[in-house]
Structure 1
């Protein structure tokens, strides 16, 4: 079997490992996590039992991908233990995109755990990591981070901060070429303006976003953006505009079944319909929708709207008893709602306090870290100076050694050139100049003795192999010249050497690749170089190894092949293998 074949088979065998299979699985999960998060999560969960046995880097990638899949599949996080470890690891070893994703997911963990201040801190860190000037900026993740911050500010009843985050979300979504996300963020700005009592902004934004949704063929999303503007039209008594928007909402939103019943969670819309019909004088139609709304009076929002509208309805009907009844119910439910809202306000105030306090603690901790950082930088600079100085001294010493090797290789090549010249002269002498022939043979012997001192071998009269290696093979000549110029042998040239020796000296090649001798790949290459009459200093330069290291390797070869210690007679013995 050829030497190159051994290398190829070894590479194939080593690639078929469990870690490679797991790495392929993680690549597959990574490709699915954004488009089919449920499938990605199921795939990762099936291999959770082996996650702890993976190398650290692969294990952290598994944990990060699983958290991303959970977040995309709307599976709530219940603990921060895993993601804290993952974020700490990526903060030290990850690239900027991995670090940003880790902090974003850690923020999502605290979001699900109800810790809004800590969630905002992690989102802020993720945003700070984004390089918006880079060509590979992760705009997609960045727009999701701003969206999450907007949701938190919405829960905190901070519409000014929420509005700014929705604007940032839309801008980043356009950069990410996520049209629907950008329009959704634009749409939610209208809801925020409604909370701020900016009716004109609600109308202008809703009209624009509905037109854009329709332009992209998404009537369902256009219809879903209308509730806020419907409330504004009713408040402004623009009943025609309100009716047009309600009809569009009911026809295209997809929230209604064939019987005109709205999906769960959106029942308060019946109150909007009742309000509209009562305002235009259709009390019977208004009463129908109020009856529907009363079916959900366990929902405090639905009950509050229903009692208020029924109170007005019976006032129009001049039914005093019913007015008193629903007035009392409205007052009671209003008190309950007030208590709930008061509790929510207290919670929001506490959350804002916690957030501000967390910010102050972070600033104090940052100052402390800065002091340690200055000290570490000073120590680090000292270590770097020592390392650089030591390296420069080592480099100077190594350069001198290389120059010495190059000088010796130059001398050796000069000798080879003289040998070649003398060989040509001898060929001419063979045509009849016996005396000239004898002189040149003597000169060849003297030069061979000089070459032998470099080659660490014995001089013998049968030099046919040496002539083929030095005279007839251009590859060997190139190797001599390459060593003289302080060059490095390439993989292609190594393969050429192996092929040449395998064909020219099959018995020699069979012996050095014998598995019983246990020669390493480098040791085999060195044996081949010795067989091609390359001297130790040339081998040292071509393989970029020190002279002492080469001596140690030669000694190991001599012991494995011939049972001898040291390097004595190694070159000679190798060339006797034919």
Structure 2
């Protein structure tokens, strides 16, 4: 019974873990399905996302953040305004720490959309800029669709802020990125919106040129409705320039293909000011009845300041053409009154635009200041790195210079040593040649040889025997030994083949010596055997150091090890003499 009581909590824990895993897997499947529906059916995707979990807080944080990101994406696509930035700010912060570049770009784009709906243009633009900076345009999987939407949102914000230069730049960016995304409609629409930026910059020739191009582009796709939707600006330009035939052609196209008019010729809500454009055209071409008919339509919407202002202005022009001074005065007063009201509204809008643009420019300046501060930090880091490099390189170069000086000293020592040996060999040869005839000369030479051998002995820890054996002379004058002495004198290292030749020479000339130093009981390493052979051939430590390309201290350590292994003696004292005693 007790065992069952102990096991029960463990079983419950296992069941809860399995249940959580199942719920998580189900939630991930729903999120994947919603993401697939996002572009075509954002409303259905949002419904699916809302049903993912009754309590989102119970989900793992990564899954919860993805859920909130997709819900915000669906909400934005459904044109449902955001009312708070708390959720998306947390999502963006989380993805900054845990997401890839594409996820971070999407999170900051949606956070920018939140600030857009909260009418905080500077913060929205700041987030859009952050999102753009995260796009990896060199990657094959770059999210061009999201990137072109970001630039489009920025263009719209600059339009509202009354900054056509910035707006124009963003429409160009939108066009370029939409073409990368193969979203032709988005690209053409961005190109068409450049006309409105040029209109606000009073560059009317550009308005005409772009609009004509837009019509051709959309007609090429068979979408005259989209082409017609971008004609109002160019119609206004032609009316202003009194090119009424061209204005009429564009107006007919607009009314026929835009889809904004019903069968009775009434335009859809929100676009009623177009009746004033029609009245303006008919008034200009002398069709007063038609002008008055459209003005009667327009005056019905006088509660709208824009419609009322246009209506009173065109009625004033209409009655001026009719030579009815009293009506001109009446509508002139109404127009002035409405113009004052409109001016107040425009002034407030201008103040808001100026404030938004000021805040944006201030934010831009703050960003520049931060960038300058970052540059200063980078400069400081570069200075520290340079100092560290100098601190490493200078001692290293000093060490190399010291080693070069030391090697030169070894080389000079080796040169002198070999010179002495050469003198010794020459003297011995002279002695051999003259011993039969020149007893006195012989004595002189013997004394000279003795002195030279004393000089040679100064490089060793033993005396050089007066009676040099034939084997010793063979070893000393062998081709291998002579070549290695010359290499040491020049400061050049020996090759592995040359060192092997030394071992072979020792083995052939001094087989007993070679057999002793290679006995397994002494456990001499290959390099130690080479050093023994070179000592036996009368190479001094500085020569061996150069030939083996190692330091003199290392040679001293090797000699000490040899002395201990062969003779059980510490240090290097008398090693040379002990080795020469080996038979």
TM bucket normalised to smaller: 0.5 to 0.7
Structure 1 residue 356, shift from structure 2 partner: 2.5
Hey, what's the Cα distance between the residues in 1 that align with 2:210 and 2:195? Answer: 6
Structure 1 residue 357, shift from structure 2 partner: 2.5
| 2:221 matches 1:221 | no
TM-score, scaled relative to structure 2:
0.60
Structure 1 residue 49, shift from structure 2 partner: 2.9
Map of 2:294 onto structure 1:
289
Larger Cα-atom Rg: 2
User: What number of residue pairs does the alignment pair up?
Assistant: 368
Structure 1 residue 352, shift from structure 2 partner: 1.8
| 2:173 matches 1:168 | yes
Map of 1:326 onto structure 2:
331
Give the alignment of 1:109-128 within 5 angstroms: 109-128=114-133
Structure 1 residue 238, shift from structure 2 partner: 1.4
Map of 2:557 onto structure 1:
none
Give the alignment of 1:293-442 within 5 angstroms: 293-364=298-369
Preserved contact between residue 235 and residue 247 of structure 2 (Cα < 8 Å): yes
Map of 2:64 onto structure 1:
59
Hey, what's the Cα distance between the residues in 1 that align with 2:171 and 2:364? Answer: 22
Structure 1 residue 105, shift from structure 2 partner: 0.5
Structure 1 residue 50, shift from structure 2 partner: 2.5
Hey, what's the Cα distance between the residues in 1 that align with 2:328 and 2:64? Answer: 67
Hey, what's the Cα distance between the residues in 1 that align with 2:380 and 2:93? Answer: 22
Structure 1 residue 359, shift from structure 2 partner: 3.1
Structure 1 residue 241, shift from structure 2 partner: 1.2
Q: 1:373 to 1:42 in 2, by over 3 A?
A: farther
Secondary structure of the residue aligned to 2:54 is helix
Structure 1 residue 364, shift from structure 2 partner: 4.9
Give the alignment of 1:6-85 within 5 angstroms: 17-47=22-52, 49-85=54-90
Hey, what's the Cα distance between the residues in 2 that align with 1:191 and 1:285? Answer: 28
Structure 1 residue 19, shift from structure 2 partner: 0.3
Structure 1 residue 47, shift from structure 2 partner: 3.3
Map of 1:511 onto structure 2:
none
Structure 2, unpaired ranges of 5+: 1-14, 383-583
Map of 2:275 onto structure 1:
270
Structure 1, unpaired ranges of 5+: 1-9, 378-578
Hey, what's the Cα distance between the residues in 2 that align with 1:190 and 1:360? Answer: 29
Map of 1:189 onto structure 2:
194
State the Cα deviation string for residues 18-59 of structure 1 (Å, max 9, x = none): 100000000011111111111111221233532111111111
Hey, what's the Cα distance between the residues in 2 that align with 1:236 and 1:122? Answer: 42
Q: 1:325 to 1:48 in 2, by over 3 A?
A: farther
Map of 2:204 onto structure 1:
199
Hey, what's the Cα distance between the residues in 2 that align with 1:32 and 1:373? Answer: 45
Hey, what's the Cα distance between the residues in 1 that align with 2:217 and 2:116? Answer: 32
Q: 1:36 to 1:374 in 2, by over 3 A?
A: farther
Hey, what's the Cα distance between the residues in 2 that align with 1:159 and 1:85? Answer: 33
Hey, what's the Cα distance between the residues in 2 that align with 1:19 and 1:202? Answer: 55
Secondary structure of the residue aligned to 2:55 is helix
Structure 1 residue 374, shift from structure 2 partner: 11
Give the alignment of 1:490-569 within 5 angstroms: none
State the Cα deviation string for residues 551-571 of structure 1 (Å, max 9, x = none): xxxxxxxxxxxxxxxxxxxxx
Map of 2:550 onto structure 1:
none
| 2:109 matches 1:104 | yes
Map of 1:239 onto structure 2:
244
Preserved contact between residue 31 and residue 52 of structure 2 (Cα < 8 Å): no
Structure 1 residue 16, shift from structure 2 partner: 6.9
Hey, what's the Cα distance between the residues in 2 that align with 1:376 and 1:52? Answer: 43
Secondary structure of the residue aligned to 1:162 is helix
Map of 1:407 onto structure 2:
none
Query: For structure 1, which segment, 15-24 or 231-240, has the greater mean C-alpha deviation from structure 2 after superposition?
Result: 15-24
Hey, what's the Cα distance between the residues in 2 that align with 1:60 and 1:369? Answer: 31
Structure 1 residue 324, shift from structure 2 partner: 0.7
Structure 1 residue 375, shift from structure 2 partner: 11
- What is the RMSD of the two structures over their aligned residues, measured on CA atoms? 2.4
Secondary structure of the residue aligned to 2:233 is helix
Map of 2:254 onto structure 1:
249
Q: 1:371 to 1:51 in 2, by over 3 A?
A: farther
